[in-house]
Amino acid sequence: MKIRTITTGIPYPFSPFQLQRAARFNNACQSYFDANGFEVQTTRVSSQIWDEARVIDTILVLESEAKELGIEFLNLGTIFPEKHYTKSHLAIVADVIVQSEILFATTTLTTQSGQISKDATKSTAEIIQQIAHQTDVGYGNLRFAALMNCPPNTPFFPAAFWNDTRTNFGIGWQASDLIQDAFTNSPDLDTALQKLKNIMEEEGQRIVTLAETMAKEWGIKFVGIDVSPAPMGDESIAYAMEQQLPGCFGDSGTLTVAAGITRTLRSLSLPLCGYSGLMLPVLEDVGLGKRSEECYFNLDSLLLYSSVCGTGLDTIPIPGDATTTQITAILTDVATLSIQLNKPLSVRLFPVPGLKAGDITQFESPYLTNTAVMQI
């Protein structure tokens, strides 16, 4: 079982001391977990820079400093609606993503009063378009997402943003293989889910013990594990789920299995953080990509699954000529679901320039698979 990320959250990344300490801590954690039998795929740093006025040049200098420290993933945090600098930050965030390599950022579309910010939603649709048409094959949208009711201190990117009294860290695991192990040869879903709970709690407790040791040694708060299974490469959540489906992912029964997994994740006797629900990232999961290409599900299916899952619509390839109005409608649908169910959701869309529905993407990335562009 692999750890996808160890993410350290810091109050102020522009402080050389805080950034350097986070880099040192991440390196120490990676070595410690590796030595104790866990492969750590990435370490990351998250923050929240959008509470004050920002300019692009200062942010790009921050990226250079992070690179010099060996930091490969740095999240700038989320732009909340109805703040003093919201409009000016929305105006520059696309350029920040386009002009950088390791920076991530998000916008939040829901307000504290439980409303959808129409201005933020329309601006976010425009940002997605700008990034798509100003980065190679639209790949920059890997580092940008729209959030709805998402909590702080989530280890998974792009949703991560810091909000605490001090530096902290959380862990996001991969764990699709644990679902595969639990579901294979189980006689029914209830048995499979109980096996999954047992396996995850055993593995999770090992991680917690190691994390608490590092927290004590460094004086850095451990916020918990985001137990969302994170598919990558051959470890497919879709293929794992099919072990308890009568057919393929997307057939009848998929919603029930998805709900069962998320319910099990949230029942684990572990310190949880972040989404801690089922994630279905179409461009990150070879099985989801294959089933999408075979038309077993569509955007409406994924929206339905989001009602019982963890993340919403994640890494979805859509036609490159998708309009602002169409993208805004997708964002609004997910935000509406988030508000109605009072749950965190997010959207990461990939308009692919030059491609239409049914065309196959041509991403050359270790983080993405390729599949058919979805109809919207």
CATH number at residue 281: 3.20.70.20
Domain range for 181 is: 1-376
Please name the residues in contact with 356: beta carbons below 8 A apart, sequence gap of 6 or more.
Answer: 319, 320, 321, 373
User: What is the pLDDT, as a whole number, of residue 113?
Assistant: 93
pTM to 2 decimals?
0.96
Helix axes 189-218, 16-35, angle to 10 degrees: 130
Give the helix/strand (H/E) hosting 313: strand 312-319
Q: Is 217 helix (H, G, I), strand (E, B) or coil?
A: helix
User: Per-block average pLDDT, block size 10, for the chain (376 residues)?
Assistant: 96 98 98 97 98 97 98 98 96 98 98 96 98 97 97 97 97 96 97 98 98 98 97 90 97 97 97 95 96 97 93 96 98 97 96 98 94 97
Classified as helix, coil or strand, 229 is: coil
What does the alpha-carbon distance between residue 335 and residue 276 come to, in Å, rounded to a whole number? 19
3-state SS class at 13: coil
Tally the domains of the chain: 1
As a whole number of angstroms, the distance between CA 211 and CA 32 comes to 9
Q: Give the model's pLDDT for residue 232.
A: 83
Closest CA to 159 of 142, 175, 137, 174: 142
Q: What is the pLDDT of residue 310?
A: 80
